[in-house]
């Protein structure tokens, strides 16, 4: 009964350049989230800046590498407070595969200096954003190592299976990276760091392994690094859109 009543009103408003939309519930999770997706998000949301969709996608990717028996460790570059690796650890435990090593690379002192290519989707220079923002602002992504360690260990994952590697990825990778990777999550935002990670870590990603690029849509430098690396190495990947910025692919 509502549709015939609304139709003339919608048409009249459309002529004036307006439209009627159903009121959204701010903070509501996607309707297709499972109870497990919801539980994970509620547990990790205080420790991540990523979206519910990206967390759910990460958990699905962890389940995939387990069930597909993809060999290797779980690697994250760009940790902040550890929310994404909390989600990964919880999923590994739930799926009975808590023997994999987790490698968490971060400065644990905030963002490194960006370059000229590091511009947001809105056209904002990363360098200028950092220059006008206090160090405690989210754009700096500052979180001490102990804060991330406490959060990740709260999942109950074996501490001996977790490596926290402090420093610029350009200084710690490849020397401190594992030889075989099942899932590689890149979230350091900038062109230079993302490029460095791909050059040294993508070759170590197992066939069938998962590549996650957190900033492909939001930071133009990250997109440039990914596109350049794939083109120069003649690698053809379907970069599946998780949300406006996150992308996920399986290595052939």
Band of residue 24 on the pLDDT scale cut at 50, 70, 90 = very low
In a domain, 19, yes or no: no
Give residue-wise pLDDT tens across range 119-158.
999 999 999 999 998 877 787 888 999 999 999 999 999 9
| Residue 139, pLDDT score | 79
In a domain, 119, yes or no: yes
Which position has the higher pLDDT, 219 or 16? 219
Q: What is the CATH number of the domain that holds 96?
A: 3.40.50.150
Give residue-wise pLDDT tens across range 74-97.
999 999 999 999 999 999 999 999
Sorted by sequence, the CB contacts under 8 Å of residue 155 that are 6+ apart come out as: 86, 89, 90, 93
What angle is formed at CA 192 by the lines to CA 189 and CA 193, rounded to 5 degrees? 55
What is the distance between the alpha carbons of residues 106 and 172, in angstroms, rounded to a whole number? Answer: 9
Among 15-19, 20-24, 219-223, which stretch is predicted with the lowest mean pLDDT?
20-24
Band of residue 27 on the pLDDT scale cut at 50, 70, 90 = low
Which position has the higher pLDDT, 132 or 9? 132
In percent, how much of the chain has pLDDT > 70? 89
* 240 pLDDT more than 80: yes
In a domain, 42, yes or no: yes
In a domain, 18, yes or no: no
Sorted by sequence, the CB contacts under 8 Å of residue 38 that are 6+ apart come out as: 29
In a domain, 235, yes or no: yes
Q: What is the mean pLDDT of residues 220-228?
A: 99
Strand partners, 166: 106
Residue 186: DSSP 8-state: E
| Residue 23, pLDDT score | 39
In a domain, 62, yes or no: yes
In a domain, 24, yes or no: no
pTM strictly above 0.85: yes
| Residue 134, pLDDT score | 82
* 223 pLDDT more than 90: yes
Band of residue 2 on the pLDDT scale cut at 50, 70, 90 = very low
When divided into structural domains, the chain yields a total of 1
244 is in which domain, residue-wise?
37-250
Q: What is the mean pLDDT of residues 221-240?
A: 99
In a domain, 9, yes or no: no
From the list 202, 148, 144, 153, the residue with the least C-alpha distance to 173 is 202
Average of per-residue pLDDT values in the chain: 92
């Amino acid at each position: 009964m509502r549709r015939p009543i609304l139709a003339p009103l919608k048409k009249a408003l459309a002529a004036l350049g307006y439209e009627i939309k159903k009121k959204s519930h701010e903070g509501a999770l996607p309707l297709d989230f499972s109870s497990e997706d919801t539980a994970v998000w509620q547990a990790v949301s205080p420790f991540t800046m990523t979206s519910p969709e990206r967390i759910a996608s990460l958990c699905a990717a962890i389940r995939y590498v387990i069930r597909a028996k993809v060999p290797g460790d779980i690697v994250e570059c760009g940790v902040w407070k550890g929310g994404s690796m909390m989600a990964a650890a919880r999923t590994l435990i739930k799926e009975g595969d808590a023997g994999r090593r987790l490698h968490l690379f971060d400065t644990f002192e905030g963002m490194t200096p960006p370059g000229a290519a590091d511009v947001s989707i809105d056209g904002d220079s990363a360098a200028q954003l950092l220059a006008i923002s206090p160090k405690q602002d989210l754009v700096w992504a500052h979180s001490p190592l102990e804060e991330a360690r406490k959060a990740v260990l709260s999942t109950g994952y074996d501490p001996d299976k977790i490596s926290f590697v402090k420093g610029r990825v350009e200084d710690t990778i490849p020397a401190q990276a594992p030889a075989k990777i099942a899932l590689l999550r890149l979230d350091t935002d900038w062109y230079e760091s993302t490029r460095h990670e791909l050059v040294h870590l993508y070759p170590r990603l197992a066939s069938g392994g998962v590549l996650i690029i957190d900033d492909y849509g939001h930071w133009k430098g990250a997109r440039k690094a990914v596109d350049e690396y794939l083109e120069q190495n003649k690698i053809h990947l379907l970069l599946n859109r998780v949300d406006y910025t996150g992308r996920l692919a399986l290595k052939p």
